Structure formats: C-alpha cells, structure tokens
Amino acid sequence: MKVYSVKDLLVEDLLLQEVSVKGWVRTFRSNRFIALNDGSTIHNIQCVVDFEKTPEEVLKRISTGAALHIEGTLVESSGKGQKVEIQVTRLEVLGDSHPDEYPIQPKKHSLEFLRENAHLRTRTNTFGAVMRVRSTLSFAVHRYFQNNGFNYVNTPIITGSDAEGAGEMFRVSALDAKNPPLNEDGSVNYKEDFFGKETNLTVSGQLEAETYAMSLGKVYTFGPTFRAENSNTSRHLAEFWMIEPEVAFMDLDGNMDLAEDFIKYVIRYVLEHCKDDLEFLEKRLLDEEKTKPQNERSSMTLTEKLHFVLDNNFKRVSYTEAIDILKNSKPNKKKKFQYIIEEWGADLQSEHERFLVEKHFKCPVILFDYPAKIKAFYMRLNDDGKTVRAMDILFPGIGEIVGGSQREERYDVLLEKVKTMGIDEKELWWYLDLRKYGTAVHSGFGLGFERLVLFATGMTNIRDVIPFPRTPQSAEF
C-alpha cells in the first residue's frame, strides 16, 4: 500500500480510501486519538484507534515521540479541528519513545531548553516550521539567481588568503598542536604545515567570486562562512551561511536594485509557499510579544513585517545624511543610545540602524557611501577621497542584513589602498591581476542567510534558525 505523507492526506481527495502513513506521535488522548506528524507539514493527522480491538500492550507503547506505521480508512472527521481522520485498521509501533525519559513532552518548552536538545527540537511545531521555511527560502535563493542568469560558484572553505578583511578567522592546521615546528624566532613554521602556508576557514567567498564574475559575468555563492568573533549576540554565529552575488559591469545603483529585488522575491516566495508555517509562526510571535513589557513589544505582526519589506521602496540614504539624522535624534541627545554618535566617521551599531529603520524612515533603508576608514580595502573610492561606494541594507528588528559595495576596479588605486592598509600585496597577486587584465566596474553584496531566516520567521535569536548553532563556548552535536 502506498505510504502517503500527512500533507498529502490532508489536501488530496482520498476520502474513504485505504491509506498508509508513517510518522511520530505528537499526542495520544483517551486511549483513542493519536495526533501523528511526519514533518511534511505543521499539521498532524488524527488517527482513531479502536481500543477494544487493540491489545493492551500495543496501546501502552503509543506515547509521545514513538514512531508508528498506521493503515486505515480516511474518513470525514466529526471532531473539531480537522476535516479528515484515519480509522485505524492496522497499527505497528516502529520505535518506542520511552515516555519517562523523552524530553519533548506535549507542553511548551523554552527555546533555551530546546537549544540544549537541538537533536530533537525539530519535533516541535516551532522548529519544524522554522526549518521548513529555511529550506524553502534556500530554494528560493537558487531559483531567483538561476532564473536571472547567474552561475552558482562554490568558493573554497579553506582559504590561503588572510586579506578578506571581514573579521577574526579560525586557523586550519594539521600540525601537532603540542609540539609544532618552530622558526628561529620561536614562531610556528607553517611552511611545514599541510598546505605549506598558514590557512584559515573562509570569512567570505567574495574575492574568489570576483574572479568568476570577471569571466562568467553574473555569479553567486551560497555556502558556509566562519568568523571567530567573540560576539555573543542574538545576530552572530561563528558558522553561518552567506549568499554573495557578484556582477560584472554593474555599479552601486545596480547593486542596490539587485539586492532589493532579490530580497523581495524570496520573501514573496515564502509567503506563497509556507502559508501554514507562517500562520503558526505569526501566532507564536504574538504570544512571545505578550510576555514582554509593553514598551518593548513590536508593533508589527509577522505578516505585517514581511509586507513592510515587500510593499515599501527601500529608502536610499547616504551615510553622511544618516549621521546628521542620528546626531540630532532624541535618543542621541538624551543619551539613550549605548553608543552616542559624536561625529562623522563613527561606525554604526545595530541600535542606530534600527532607529533609522523603525523610528525615523519607517521602511527598509539602504545606507551608502560610507567613510573609507571603516570599510574594507576593496571598496571603490569616491572622488571626495574619503568615502567609498559601500552599501548596507538595514531591516527592522535586525539591523544590517546585507553588506555590499562597488569594487575598486582601478589597479593603481587598489594597490595604493592595499599598501596603506598594511596588507601584503604578494598575498593578493591574483586579485590584483583582475585589475590588470580586462578590468571593469563590478559590484556585489553579502547577505547572511540566517539573518534572512530570522526575519522571515519572526524568531528573535539566530541560534534558533540554524540546525546546529556554533557560538562561543558551544559546538555540541
């Protein structure tokens, strides 16, 4: 007999047919009603057991978490909450769940508790919904780029260049940690290491992606990225997934257009394809908001937040304008910001970014033309000599979701920048070559996939939108 998914059983026209289904028990009530879930949808299928015909020892084994194979007739349900149910004719317990020990009881568990049980947490409605949305979003990412003529490039995870400039790196080494070969000055001799040089986990695939943009034209990466920054925030992971499109002959305006169009596409895609999960997550968010003090509650529901992005043009504002706005803002004058904005050149913190989006402009914001001093070496220098063609996209509740730029395409200017920033130009010979052979204006950006999932699901901690989060002091599983 064909095994149906719960999702299919609930939507397909199978009334009065004999069906078969496999899944895990969510609840078992009155020795009669099993709510079975198989991960295909947030909804359960109700399976009604005839307890008079079912042996006592089988009934005993039906408990939350147990794996079952059920056969029966799909009938209209007279009970509340579901249209159809299965009248069970055959039931097999495939795997017991040891109810005295099983951690995921049919009650509300805290997100912290579930993080400690990350191997089981996708058996809850919340994490099932989050991970289905995550999967759909990642498919939408590929769809968008593939539909628009981009080539998917897999840039290396182990990198030999330490010039990516985006933060602290994790070293990759095969040397004996207790007894490494040393140079005369006492430093570790990486010439004897596996790759004959010092290597790290990548913090960005951008530099390598640029080489592909300068031949394939439009490319994107979508892969794991690592940062050893010790920032224990709800928006930072040590291992996260980044999407990095890079396009030849595209300037910063084109880059902004691309980023806005791309984000709107993927958000629209989940709105259309994850209705049930989003409906659940919307209710979850409402419940969570109710537990917060009135003044910390978000004024938007999840659907409103998603439409806030879809229905608004992203407001494009220069860094210089933004600094003026922030300097003159109430929270700055009243010293409500943790970091007070004193002058031009300051790096913006997430509190400032959120103020601009949530309080001042009330729409997603793209900040551009940042001070060269606070941005990476590869960003194109403006004629004013002090700002670069950088852009960050700022979202409600999150702050920065995208960081990008038009890249410096002029050999001399780039070389000068590399030198003044104290980067070893020999390390970057291949990157500089791009500016020697057929150089062209080009641009790209990086979007942290988990920040996107965080936004789309209305979750508040980035640890809850990746299957097994890696953060300082934590790499269980």
Residues engaged in binding ligand ATP (CB under 6 A): 166-167, 227, 236-237, 240, 242, 400-403, 446-448, 450-451
Stretch that binds Mn ion, among 31-39, 240-248, 358-366, 401-409 (CB under 5 A): 401-409
Interface segment toward Mn ion; rule CB under 5 A; list 22-30, 228-236, 382-390, 403-411? 403-411
Return all residues near 91 (Cβ < 8 A) that are at least 6 apart: 47, 49, 54, 58, 62, 68, 69, 70, 71
Query: Which residue lies nearer to ligand ATP by CB, 76 or 168?
Result: 168
Cβ atoms of residues 406 and 389 within 8 Å: yes
Strands of the 171-172 sheet, one edge to the other: 158-159, 199-201, 171-172
Strands of 217-343, DSSP E: 218-226, 239-248, 315-318
User: In 3-state terms, what secondary structure has residue 382?
Assistant: coil
Residues 149 and 109: their CA atoms lie apart, in Å, by 45
- How many residues of this chain interact with Mn ion, rule: CB under 5 A? 1
Binding at 237: pick from Mn ion, ligand ATP, none (beta carbon under 5-8 Å per type):
ligand ATP
Least CB distance to Mn ion at residue 159 (A): 19
Q: Which stretch binds Mn ion (CB under 5 A): 77-85, 361-369, 396-404, 426-434?
A: 396-404
- Residue 401 contact partner, candidates ligand ATP, Mn ion, none, CB within 5 to 8 A by sort of partner: ligand ATP
Return the number of the residue (448 or 458) whose C-beta is nearest ligand ATP: 448
**What is the CB neighbour count within 10 angstroms for residue 442?**
23
Burial degree of 251 (CB within 10 A; 0-12, 13-18, 19+): middle
Question: Using an 8 Å Cβ cutoff, are 232 and 471 in contact?
Answer: yes
Which CB atom, from 114 or from 256, has the smaller least distance to Mn ion?
Answer: 256
448 binds Mn ion (CB under 5 A): no
Q: Which does 446 bind (CB under 5 to 8 A by kind): ligand ATP, Mn ion, none?
A: ligand ATP
Nearest approach, Cβ of residue 450 and ligand ATP (Å):
5
Antiparallel, parallel or unpaired: β 67-76 and 365-371 = unpaired
Nearer of residues 245 and 446 to ligand ATP, judged by Cβ: 446
Residues 310 and 272 sit within 8 Å (Cβ to Cβ):
no
H helix intervals, 148-230: 206-216
Out of ligand ATP, Mn ion, none, what residue 469 binds, judged by CB under 5 to 8 A for its kind, is: none
Between 21 and 402, whose beta carbon lies closer to ligand ATP?
Answer: 402
Radius of gyration of the chain (CA): 27
Residue number with CB closer to ligand ATP (72 or 446):
446
Q: How far is the CB of 242 from ligand ATP (least distance, A)?
A: 5
CB of 321 to Mn ion, least distance (A): 19
Is 132 or 451 the residue whose CB approaches ligand ATP more closely? 451
Distance separating alpha carbons of residues 466 and 477, to the nearest angstrom: 13
Output the smallest distance, CB 393 to ligand ATP, in A.
8
Evaluate the CA torsion angle 373, 377, 379, 384 in order and state its sign. positive
Q: Does 205 bind Mn ion (CB under 5 A)?
A: no
| Cβ atoms < 10 Å from Cβ of 215 | 11
| Helix-helix angle 252-273:449-457, to 10 degrees | 50
Write the binding mask 115 to 154 for Mn ion: x where contact by CB under 5 A, - elsewhere.
----------------------------------------
Q: Are 6 and 23 in contact (CB under 8 A)?
A: yes
Considering only 13-21, 74-82, 239-247, 402-410, which stretch makes contact with Mn ion by CB under 5 A?
402-410
Under rule CB under 5 A, residue 403 binds Mn ion:
yes
CA torsion 142→12→43→397, rounded to 10°?
Answer: 30
In the complex, the smallest distance separating the C-beta of residue 4 from Mn ion, rounded to whole angstroms, is: 46
Query: What are residue 185's phi and psi, to 5 degrees?
Result: -85, 5
Interface ranges with Mn ion (CB under 5 A): 403
